[in-house]
Amino acid sequence: MLSAEKNRIVFGWDAETVVIEAWGKDALRVRAAKLPEIPETEWALTKSDREWTAQTQAGAGYAEIVNGKIKGTIDRSGKIIFRNQDGKILLEEFVRNRKQYDFGPDVVPSGFASALDIEAREFRPILGGDYALTVRFESDPEEKIYGMGQYQQPNLDCKGCELELAHRNSQASVPFAVSSLGYGFLWNNPAVGRVSFAKNVTVWTASSTRVMDYWITAGDTPAEILENYCRVAGTPPMMPDWAMGFWQSKLRYQTQDELLSVAREYKRRGVPLSVIVVDFFHWTMQGEWKFDKKYWPDPQAMVDELREMGVQLMVSIWPTVDHRSENFHEMEEKGYLIRTDRGQRISMTFQGNTVHFDATNPAAREYVWDIVRKNYFDYGIRLFWLDEAEPEYNYYDFDLYRYHLGPDVQIGNLYPMLYARGFYEGMRREGMENIINLVRCAWAGSQRYGALVWSGDIDSSFRSLRNQFAAGLNMGMAGILWWTTDIGGFHGGEASSMEFRECFVRWFEYGTFCAVMRLHGDREPHSLPLSAEGGGTCPSGAANEIWSYGEDVYAICKFYIGLRSRMQPYIREQMKAAHERGLPPMRTLFFGFPQDSMSWQVEDEFLFGPDLLIAPILYAGMREREVYLPAGEEWKNLWTGETVPGGQTVTVSAPLEQIPVFLRVGAGAELEHLLDKD
């Protein structure tokens, strides 16, 4: 059965129904199911751009839908092909079977008869349950794929990669991809699964689901594609000005006096400080979400003093609830905790037997926010660190856990988005607008809930820095426009080590040009716990302030914090572009220069906004490097003032105190002051 309706076409064969409908600018949403009706669930998408006028028609052997620059066709065999406005195939299903049908006059068959009997859409029944889903597309070996979120590997181009569609500590699956062929593709399914961008076939899988759901858009440039996506998945709020400066953090300030002494020292030294952080286990117990007054006796006085210094306080929130906590039994009774299908209801054992609150339950989100509001927000705290947001488990046995919305294997990737949503909506109810919260994971759409994502508990090494470089740019291409790292990495690093000091400095320089500049890390050696009860039970890492690494490193860090401060008018413009259009502050070279073929080959440089080209030092001992300057512009070396025509590779000096930076000639006046290094 083939039919054309208003703004959509429908295919039916046996138990399967396929619907292809207009959803946003130059975009189509495709859903298929073997159910009486296809569920009306948006997942990553919003309804705001659903009503979009498209042209549809159906013939004897095909149906087609045209929405702006994209056309989708489905033939009588059920095969789907997408083309752009010039008729070029963007993406087509991978089919290898014996079916032979007459095609419509505008449909050119690209498959062929085959004894392999492989279907593009495979719903494999789970006995007594739903389906394991596999969806296959033809693969162009020359295609490049960007986006997909954050994975701990150094490849910017994901072509040839296999990626797990699941969250882990330091891994965020955000299944939106931008193709060099001129399309963007959202796998709009929160199930645990995998994707393989192989040379011979592209394969998406979901281990358990009820429906196939994806969204595709066509665009002439990567920027147009990402803007189309952000129209339907959302953009971040406008970042508040105070968040654009330098954030100070360590594992962990153990007392109120210790934290205030650090903030006062920044003030005494005349170093601009925007945010300082109260990390985990400042609370009485996991799942109680309040200061331990033994170590944090007067939160209001702390917040007030920091505010007088122009510093915002951020506090850590964990979603874990200790079985011994004062809220555990009530939350268990009301169904506010995730469940385990086997064994004890325990998902982590760090500092106690704990289980996460169920962020997929709206009532659970409101319950947690109400406690946080009373114990933090009412003191004037306006910034929260939503840690453990994947959620992290002792063991990532995804088939063990069950949520309010369903089993983890079927909807678990929604957790970080809904965790952020609970705080965002709570803060909105209190009248806030420009909301930002630091979150350790994300899924497609998290950006609209003010999620600033950082890359988790990563290693403190140059190798790890290279992984974060690729992760940050791909997060931006996946629509997660606010992204940062722990400057210096999280695990390890001793302040006295000259090798680590070099890594720290290079990371600090790179962090100056991230969406948020945030210092954090679990430095060695650890200090002992303060006591055997409450917030005193957790040890702390070594000092991690900019003066902790010697005078030479301190001078470098102080300079870059000042540079960041002088860039604030420019940063504000980039955050406005992110909020209004969905443009990432951190951009690949080809994002800004898609017509320059060499820009698609460069994987170790990036643009910070349209006018600054950053070439980080990603290897120990490197004191110069090659930098490709995109064609069609002239570029000024920030350090030497030399102007160089684009379209060439130059060798640039990079002493320890300098990260190669080039300013696009003709950039706005707000960047001219950067050349004044005094």
Catalytic member of 93, 157, 322, 387: 387
3-state secondary structure 376-406: CHHHCCCEEEECCCCCCCCCCCHHHEEECCE
Q: In the annotation, is 457 catalytic?
A: yes
- Please give the Cα distance from 561 to 511 (Å, whole number): 10
Q: In the annotation, is 387 catalytic?
A: yes
Residue 576 per-residue DSSP state: H
Other CB atoms within a 10 A radius of the CB of residue 334 amount to 13
Percent of the chain as helix, strand, coil, to the nearest 5: 25, 30, 45
- Please give the Cα distance from 563 to 239 (Å, whole number): 19
> Are 20 and 74 within 8 A, CB to CB?
yes
> Are 186 and 444 within 8 A, CB to CB?
yes
> Are 156 and 146 within 8 A, CB to CB?
yes
Q: Two tokens at 91?
A: 């993406």
Catalytic member of 93, 130, 288, 390: 390
Other CB atoms within a 10 A radius of the CB of residue 204 amount to 21
Cis peptide bond prior to 391, omega within 30° of 0: yes
Other CB atoms within a 10 A radius of the CB of residue 429 amount to 11
> Are 484 and 516 within 8 A, CB to CB?
yes
Q: Is 547 helix (H, G, I), strand (E, B) or coil?
A: helix
Nearest CA among 565, 645, 571 for reference residue 609: 571
Angle of the 462-477 helix axis to the 498-511 helix axis, nearest 10: 10
Q: In the annotation, is 106 catalytic?
A: no
Sequence-distant (6+) residues with CB within 8 A of 409 are 191, 192, 207, 208, 398, 399
Angle (CA) 99-100-105 rounded to 5° is 135
Token pair 């609370």: residue: 283
Catalytic member of 164, 241, 332, 457: 457
3-state secondary structure 201-239: EEEEEEEEECCEEEEEEECCCHHHHHHHHHHHHCCCCCC
Q: Two tokens at 490?
A: 């999280």
Give the CB-side neighbour count of residue 57, counting CA atoms within 13 A: 9
Helix segments in 461-603, DSSP class H = 462-477, 498-511, 551-566, 568-581, 589-592
Give, for 452, the enclosing helix (H) or strand (E): strand 451-454
> Are 503 and 461 within 8 A, CB to CB?
yes
Catalytic residue positions, numbered: 387, 390, 457
